[in-house]
Structure 1
Amino acid sequence: MSAWPTDPAWRPLYRVGAACAALYVLLLLIPLVLLGVAPQPPLSGGTAMLDYIAAHKAVYLTEFVSFVGLSVPAMVVFLALTVALWPLNRSFAALGGLIGIASEIVALAYNSSPPSLNGGLLLLSDQFVATTDPARRSALATAAEGLMAVSNAVNAAGILTALGIGLISLPMLRGIFPRRVAWLGIVTGAVGLVCEALRDLIGAWYLVYGLLLPLWFLAVGWRLSRLGMTQDAARSTAHSTLGGQR
């Protein structure tokens, strides 16, 4: 079992997983910074939304690409963790990896994210600006309101991501990853399930999960980077982690 995570064949995957964890955090931070310094899209009103996009297209597009695009590196992180944790508990490693990757596929399929970020709204905004027909503009505004409702509603992707994090963190209690990283993942998963399911009710409390999520990705990314080092260094890292948990 001890030879599995430090097998040279897996080192490139661990290194890519570590890089993707860092990319995930970067893609998460970019829109969060913009949320604090740039005008934000309205949460209701189709006309207001389409006017906003026309006036702030660069900001809107950056936030949209970042929030939706971070699902891609997240899938790689879940895959790398599944491989690393496979010998410790195949059931939870497989379940956590499968649910985590599936959640990101679902997120990409939705092609939307709060606050009011949706690829379809970009097209509607262009059409809204290009026409002067009141009936046409009214129809476009109505369509925009529908897409906004879909974008801001609770969806399965966020809930499944939290569940995947919690499940794949359970095998970490048995080694390879420090126990503090394992417990961080378990807590992040549990808090995330509640925050995602009750997002419309808890308001600013959602920020608790918003802080835990990048911390977890940074923690697992750092450990994956250690496993992705040279064989001797990676074996020393894995063995020291196992020894410290006995």
Structure 2
Amino acid sequence: MSMDDSWRPLFRVGAAANVAVLVLVPIQIVLYVLWPPPSTVLDWFALFQSHGLIGLIDMDVLLMVGNVLMALIYLALYAALRDASPSLTTLAVTLEFVAITTYLGSNTAFEMLSLSKQYAAATTEAQRGALLAAGHVMVTSWKQGSAFNVSYVLGAIATLLTSTAMLRSQVFGRVTGYVGLVFGVLSLVPASAGKAGVIFSLVSLVPMWIWLVLIAQRLFQLGRGAHGVAEVR
């Protein structure tokens, strides 16, 4: 198929962003295992005061980075799929950007870092009580607020739309599209939805990983100018 070679730099950037996300995921998991997120606001404050970077990581700062990288990936996917499914790809990239923006706004890692410093410097019980209350609000809104849940579901819908566009085009293999559909369906249940949400989020990591690997491989090919029909595999 014919494709404008002016998009090749974007394809290479998208492929590199895929690789970066694939590297960040296991790092995040390992750090979660080594330093599990605290269960109380006081413990969060203590963690931020003793190991600020670990506190930020436990509050998903790497996921924030991953979300920014996903913006680059979706721009590359839009360029690759826009001719085959202009409506689907436009809607998908729009929803993904809304999801990313919403998530970045919902994350309170740096607010918690600031509150922990204020708590350490507080000299009265009234000040400490107010800061603890503010900390409770930050932790609650982080993964239990509407913004996080909306972001999670919108990202899942964007994945489903993109995967459908893949199945309608000859740019990506059909396996890539079907794996993306599985990932999207599993991602429709927010991680905040109790035990079911945790299970779905963990299980979804498997198709997510496979999907991103397949996308990275194809984007690298497109970045080199290999615009032929993708293998059905």
TM-score of the superposed pair, with normalisation by structure 2: 0.90
User: Is residue 94 of structure 1 aligned with residue 90 of structure 2?
Assistant: yes
**Secondary structure of the corresponding residue to residue 239 of structure 1:** coil
Q: For residue 31 of structure 1, what is the aligned residue in structure 2?
A: 28
Uncovered stretches (5+) of structure 2, i.e. residues with no partner = none
Q: Please identify, of 51-60 and 126-135, the stretch whose mean Cα deviation from structure 2 is larger.
A: 51-60
> Equivalents in 1 of 2:55, 2:209: separation in Å?
22
User: Is residue 74 of structure 1 aligned with residue 65 of structure 2?
Assistant: no
User: Is residue 61 of structure 1 aligned with residue 51 of structure 2?
Assistant: no
- 1:74 Cα deviation (Å)? 0.2
Q: For residue 170 of structure 1, what is the aligned residue in structure 2?
A: 164
> What's the CA shift string for 1:30-77, capped at 9, x where partnerless?
221101112x2323x322321222123221123442121211110010
Give 1:161's match in structure 2, choosing from 150, 155, 158.
155
Uncovered stretches (5+) of structure 1, i.e. residues with no partner = 113-117
Q: For residue 191 of structure 1, what is the aligned residue in structure 2?
A: 186
Q: For residue 110 of structure 2, what is the aligned residue in structure 1?
A: 119
**Secondary structure of the corresponding residue to residue 177 of structure 1:** coil
> What's the CA shift string for 1:65-116, capped at 9, x where partnerless?
212121111001011101101111111111112111221122122234xxxx
TM-score of the superposed pair, with normalisation by structure 1: 0.85
* Contact persistence 2:166–2:173 (CA under 8 A): yes
* Contact persistence 2:143–2:192 (CA under 8 A): no
User: Is residue 12 of structure 1 aligned with residue 9 of structure 2?
Assistant: yes
Q: For residue 229 of structure 2, what is the aligned residue in structure 1?
A: 239
> What's the CA shift string for 1:146-176, capped at 9, x where partnerless?
1100112152111111110110111211311
- 1:213 Cα deviation (Å)? 2.1
> Equivalents in 2 of 1:146, 1:171: separation in Å?
40
* Contact persistence 2:44–2:55 (CA under 8 A): no
| Matched residue type, 1:3 | S
> What's the CA shift string for 1:7-49, capped at 9, x where partnerless?
21111010000001111222222221101112x2323x32232
> What's the CA shift string for 1:163-209, capped at 9, x where partnerless?
1011011121131100000001111111111x217632414343111
* Contact persistence 2:18–2:73 (CA under 8 A): yes
Q: Please identify, of 197-206 and 136-145, the stretch whose mean Cα deviation from structure 2 is larger.
A: 197-206
> Equivalents in 2 of 1:89, 1:21: separation in Å?
22
> Equivalents in 2 of 1:211, 1:240: separation in Å?
22
Give 1:151's match in structure 2, choosing from 142, 146, 149.
142
Q: For residue 194 of structure 2, what is the aligned residue in structure 1?
A: 200
Residues 205 and 85 of structure 1, relative CA distance in 2, 3 Å threshold:
closer
> Equivalents in 2 of 1:240, 1:217: separation in Å?
16
Root mean square deviation, CA, Å? 1.9
**Secondary structure of the corresponding residue to residue 190 of structure 2:** helix
**Secondary structure of the corresponding residue to residue 70 of structure 1:** helix
> Equivalents in 2 of 1:108, 1:26: separation in Å?
20
* Contact persistence 2:12–2:220 (CA under 8 A): yes
Give 1:211's match in structure 2, choosing from 203, 206, 219.
206
* Contact persistence 1:19–1:221 (CA under 8 A): yes
Report the number of matched residues: 227
User: Is residue 228 of structure 1 aligned with residue 218 of structure 2?
Assistant: no
* Contact persistence 2:49–2:117 (CA under 8 A): yes
* Contact persistence 1:41–1:52 (CA under 8 A): no
* Contact persistence 1:159–1:197 (CA under 8 A): no
